[in-house]
Every structure is written in C-alpha cells, then in structure tokens.
Amino acid sequence: MSHFSLKPFISAVFLLFAFSINLKAQDGAKIFKQNCAVCHSLTDQKLTGPGLLGVAGRVPKPETEWLSKWIKNNNKVIASGDAYAKSLVANNGGVDGMSEFEYLTDDELKSVVAYIIAPPAEVKPSASGSGEGGTTEEKTEEVKGAIDPLYLLLGSIVLLAIIVGALRSVRHSLANSFNKKEGKPEVPEMTFVEEVKHWMGSHRRLVGVCVIIILFIGMKSCWNACYNLGVYYDYKTQKGYQPPQPIKFSHKLHAGDNEIACQYCHNSVEKSKHAGIPSVNVCMNCHKAIQKGPKYGEKEIAKIYEASGFDPKTGNYTNPQNPIKWIKIHNLPDHVYFNHKQHVVVGKQDCANCHGKVKEMEVVQQQSPLTMKWCIECHRKTEVAMEGNAYYDKIHKALKEKYKGQHDVKLTVEKIGGLECAKCHY
C-alpha cells in the first residue's frame, strides 16, 4: 500500500512562497527607482524629500497600510485630517509637493513599501576592487599581460613565411631527385619572385581573369565607400564612432538596468528639434544622494560634484562650478534639417531606431551611418503613424482615395513627400 507524504508538497509551497517574495522585492526596487529615487534616498540624507531610513518607525500603525495610502494619494490622507500627515506638511513649510501615484496597483504599492521598509543590502566590492559586476575599471580596458594583436599578426606572417620557404625547399629537392632518377637535368634554383613570374607566364589566361575580377571588386568597393560616405567627410561621424567622454557614464546601467527613460535626461527630445545634452542639475537629482556607483565607485561621481560645485561633506553648493565638456557623437551638417520632435512625437519613432540599443551600451557609439541613402531608405519603408492623429485624418482619407484599387499599398513617409529635397535641405 502506497504511503502519501506531505513533505514534498510543503517544500514546494515554501519554495513558491520564497520565490514570490523575491519577485515582489525585485518589483519594489524597480518601482522605487522609476518613481521615488529622484526625490527620496533610502538613507537618512534629505534630497527634495526626506530620507526614508527608519520610516516604518515614524509613521502611524499599521505602517504598511499608511505608507501605501500616502504613496497612492497623499493629498487624500492630508484631507482626511490625519495628524501625522499634517505634521509632515507643517515641517515642510506648509507645502506638500509630493506626486500622486494613483496608477499603482495594490500589489505594486505593497511591494514598493516592503522595499522601502527593508531594502536589500548592497553588494560590496571585494578587497581586490571587484564586485559581482567585475572590476571597478572599465571592462574594455586592456588586460595586463595581454599580447598586442599587432604582434600576433606580425608573428603569424613570419611563421607563414618560414613555412612557405621550407615547403619550397622540399619541393625543389623532390623535383631534382625525380629528375635525377629519370635522367633529366636538375631544376635550376629560383627565388620566390622568379617562381611567381614563371607561373604567371605559363598561366596567362587564368591570371588575366583574376586581374579583371580583382579590378571589378575594387571598383565596386570604391563605389560603395563613396556612396556611403557620412554626412561630414570626417572620420568622427562614421558608424562605430565612440569617443571617450570626460566622465565615464554607463548608459547600460542607467537606461538599461535602472530603466531610466531617455526623455528624463534628454528632456527636450519631445519639444525641440534637438534632443539636448542633460544639464548637470539633472545628474544631481539622483547623485546628490547616490555618491558611490557599482562600477566606478566614487571617482566618476566626484567629477559631477566638481562640475556642479557641490560639496558632498556639507551637502551645499559652495565650490566653484566647472562645465562638463561632453563630446557629441551624432553629427549632421548645417545644410541638413532634422527635427527630433517630428520623429519622436509625430512619427512615433523609438530612439533605438536611429541610435541603436543604447540600453545595452556601456559607452554610446554611432550605430547608424546617417547617410542620405540611409534616411531615404527609412522614409521609403516606414509607414506614417496616422492612427489617433487628427492632423493626418484629412490626408489619410485623400491618400486612401488616391491609391484605391492598388494592392498592398503602404502609406509610407515617401507617399506624403518624405523624399522631397526641401524637406531636409533648405
């Protein structure tokens, strides 16, 4: 008779429970970074809002329920006559500037409150200066003791030359041994260049065909190189351009791991033709509290403090300011018009379509060639985002009538004048 045991079932339930708690903690960290970290730190340091260290011991009981209500709609808590809420406003000069987060679900509120009350311990770097993510220096830096690729190439060429010389000597010896056996004269010893000339003289047709093929390949390569020249005749604007910046800034960490939206730093991308370079004040929104990074420690963040004149010891802007001289990567000439707002807001284009997977880049580089050919091809294949845009309603109706009866007609940017010269050159 089989015996049923509850132990496996209990173990499975326990593991599932532990796993769900871990997921909630991860969700809470994500929500906090996206919504709260700009104004609040998890330490006792005050930013725009107060530090949250020990907040569970300050708010009314039950603390999790009170914090959830406060985060969701703090104005409603204040209006209810809550004594502690009123004291918070009074201590803040009678003003409560905290945002409301009505869009967060109950589960999301619980997870972020759990994260605030008991944040996970940070991973500390080892004594050697490396943590879970590697050393504190860039992974792209040259590893000590590594062999220069140029030396490997030169060594390979020398080794290949030695092998070719040895094989020529063996072939010459074998040929003379065969001729001696057959009673024929010995083959005269020739240099490598003389052998090449002799072979080419006895295989003229093959050599002629090879020369023609090489010429055509060379001409085609030159044509492609000319056709794909960047908008500037300058190596700096070519695909793959990746200059070192004055501050080592990881887009992978900020936009990828921490999921900070591109528009938060490049805040004019939806309002102007220019995406804009973030001001140092934007950096200080977070780094007034975050004084040590997971990869570069305090070294690179100290450069932000130097630029803003911030003294981390006193928490005041008392030092002289020094501008950060960022190096622009994506360049267009003066006679080319490009409007970020037009592409991002009206065209609904994602940043990655032109700039590549910036969320995966430690150091940003130019991913697209930005040539006229590249722009034209994009306009030919990209459909106009007309749905829900009142500006295009009349145009949409007219174009549907114009191309009526044609199968598989896509209303691309080309169809609304996207290839007209004056659209980009003026």
| pLDDT attached to residue 247 | 93
Separation CA 333–CA 236 (nearest Å): 13
More confident residue, 95 or 48: 48
For residues 155 and 226, membership in a common domain is answered with yes
For residues 89 and 37, membership in a common domain is answered with yes
More confident residue, 214 or 100: 214
Does residue 129 belong to any structural domain of this protein?
Answer: no
Low-confidence winner among 144-158, 276-290, 301-315 (lowest mean pLDDT): 144-158
> Could you read off the pLDDT of 183-228 as tens digits, one per residue?
888 877 778 788 888 888 888 999 999 999 999 999 988 887 776 5
Does residue 345 belong to any structural domain of this protein?
Answer: no
| pLDDT attached to residue 38 | 67
For residues 104 and 173, membership in a common domain is answered with no
| pLDDT attached to residue 217 | 93
Decide which of 207, 232, 257 is a domain's last residue: 232
Is pLDDT at 106 greater than 80 in this prediction?
yes
CA-to-CA separations, 249 to 165, 283, 293, 361, in angstroms, rounded = 52, 11, 10, 10
Confidence of residue 93 (pLDDT cuts 50, 70, 90): low
The DSSP string of 314-328 is TTB--SPP----PPP
Does residue 314 belong to any structural domain of this protein?
Answer: no
For residues 93 and 161, membership in a common domain is answered with no
Terminus-to-terminus CA distance in the chain, angstroms? Answer: 90
The stretch 167-178 carries a mean pLDDT of 82
| pLDDT attached to residue 296 | 87
Does residue 272 belong to any structural domain of this protein?
Answer: no
Is pLDDT at 388 greater than 90 in this prediction?
no
For residues 204 and 167, membership in a common domain is answered with yes
Decide which of 232, 250, 266 is a domain's last residue: 232
Percent of the chain with pLDDT over 90: 25
**Tally of structural domains, the chain:** 3
Nearest to 424 by CA among 329, 331, 334: 334
Does residue 253 belong to any structural domain of this protein?
Answer: no
Highest-confidence segment of 118-122, 189-193, 269-273: 269-273
| pLDDT attached to residue 7 | 42
Question: Which CATH number do you get for residue 52?
Answer: 1.10.760.10
For residues 98 and 61, membership in a common domain is answered with yes
| pLDDT attached to residue 359 | 93
Low-confidence winner among 167-181, 279-293, 323-337 (lowest mean pLDDT): 167-181
Is pLDDT at 20 greater than 90 in this prediction?
no
For residues 19 and 73, membership in a common domain is answered with yes
For residues 116 and 205, membership in a common domain is answered with no
Does residue 180 belong to any structural domain of this protein?
Answer: yes
| pLDDT attached to residue 369 | 85
3-state secondary structure of 422: helix
| pLDDT attached to residue 139 | 41
What six digits make up the tokens of 197?
A: 């000339």
Gyration radius of the chain over CA positions: 34
Separation CA 24–CA 40 (nearest Å): 20
For residues 61 and 153, membership in a common domain is answered with no
For residues 24 and 101, membership in a common domain is answered with yes
The interaxial angle of helices 280-287 and 299-308, nearest 10 deg, is 130
pTM for this prediction: 0.49
Separation CA 204–CA 285 (nearest Å): 73
| pLDDT attached to residue 16 | 43
Q: What's the mean per-residue pLDDT of the chain?
A: 79
More confident residue, 374 or 193: 374
Separation CA 47–CA 49 (nearest Å): 5
| pLDDT attached to residue 118 | 80
Confidence of residue 319 (pLDDT cuts 50, 70, 90): very high
Low-confidence winner among 27-41, 144-158, 228-242 (lowest mean pLDDT): 228-242
Is pLDDT at 13 greater than 50 in this prediction?
no
More confident residue, 258 or 135: 258
| pLDDT attached to residue 8 | 44
For residues 19 and 115, membership in a common domain is answered with yes
Does residue 90 belong to any structural domain of this protein?
Answer: yes
DSSP type of residue 413: G
Query: How many residues in total does the chain contain?
Result: 426
| pLDDT attached to residue 223 | 83
| pLDDT attached to residue 95 | 56
3-state secondary structure of 138: coil
Does residue 62 belong to any structural domain of this protein?
Answer: yes
More confident residue, 74 or 92: 74
DSSP type of residue 148: P
The stretch 307-312 carries a mean pLDDT of 93
Decide which of 210, 232, 254 is a domain's last residue: 232
Q: Is 158 exposed, middle or buried (0-12, 13-18, 19+ CB in 10 A)?
A: exposed
What six digits make up the tokens of 129?
A: 């200066």
For residues 112 and 159, membership in a common domain is answered with no
| pLDDT attached to residue 407 | 60
- Dmax (CA) for the chain in angstroms is 119
What is the residue range of 402's domain?
383-426
